Chain A
């Protein structure tokens, strides 16, 4: 199993550009989530999904969209990038829809918005 994979590993955007961060897992996990990690802030939840076709907002959803058309994939879209979105983004998956089991994280995407 590859576990949780994320692409790209690094990305530089200009203000106003849009892009999609890809996340995939091959463990047939129901629960997937996106976090951003900023210095001194810990990980903050952006969006999460408890199964295909179901998504919900986390703590910091503004400026981001998600969709969950399959169990495996959970892409995160930045609609119009802003410097405040410079961060490290982690995707995670968990076996149960309660989110209570071990969270498996992808390696992260380091995004810089100029």
Chain B
């Protein structure tokens, strides 16, 4: 079983729709969680960290469910510019390494 798993998609949704992705992780000792965004043929960039209480940044909401070991990303009122691959990233307690999921590809259609 992969340490971090994501549905690779692709997700194709119309502009203005709400879309959500989940990511599961296998290491229950994981302490830090992130969502990165990667545009086609570009480097990944941090979208947001994920906190235990859940957090929101504009149209983006991230949540963590430790009991079920998954994190989620919700995008409301999606824009064409949201088209990208979204990478789930997990860091274990005391570890110095991040573990990346394979990414979920999202395409927003006009």
A90 touches B43 (CB 8 A): yes
Write out the residue numbers on chain B whose beta carbons fall within 8 Å of the beta carbon of A106: 43
Given A31-B96, A103-B98, verify A43-B44 contact (CB < 8 Å). yes
A48 touches B97 (CB 8 A): yes
A1 within 8 A of B: no
B98 touches A45 (CB 8 A): yes
B102 touches A99 (CB 8 A): no
Provide the B45-70 mask, 1 if CB < 8 A to any CB of A, else 0.
11000000000000000000000000
Write out the residue numbers on chain B whose beta carbons fall within 8 Å of the beta carbon of A99: 91, 95-98
B97 touches A40 (CB 8 A): no
- Most chain A beta carbons < 10 A, residue from B36, B100, B101: B100
Residue in A closest to B3 when the chains form the complex, CB atoms: A59
Alpha-carbon separation in the docked complex, A58 to B97 (Å)? 8
Alpha-carbon separation in the docked complex, A64 to B37 (Å)? 27
Write out the residue numbers on chain B whose beta carbons fall within 8 Å of the beta carbon of A44: 100
Alpha-carbon separation in the docked complex, A17 to B7 (Å)? 37
B97 touches A100 (CB 8 A): no
A84 within 8 A of B: no
A74 within 8 A of B: no
B73 within 8 A of A: no
B98 touches A41 (CB 8 A): no
Top 5 closest pairs, chain A to chain B, by CB: A105-B43, A42-B102, A43-B100, A42-B100, A99-B96
Can you offer 24 A-B residue contacts whose CB atoms are under 8 A? A31-B96, A35-B100, A40-B8, A40-B102, A41-B102, A42-B4, A42-B87, A42-B103, A43-B100, A44-B100, A45-B98, A45-B99, A48-B97, A59-B97, A98-B96, A99-B91, A99-B95, A99-B98, A100-B32, A103-B46, A103-B98, A106-B43, A107-B42, A108-B43
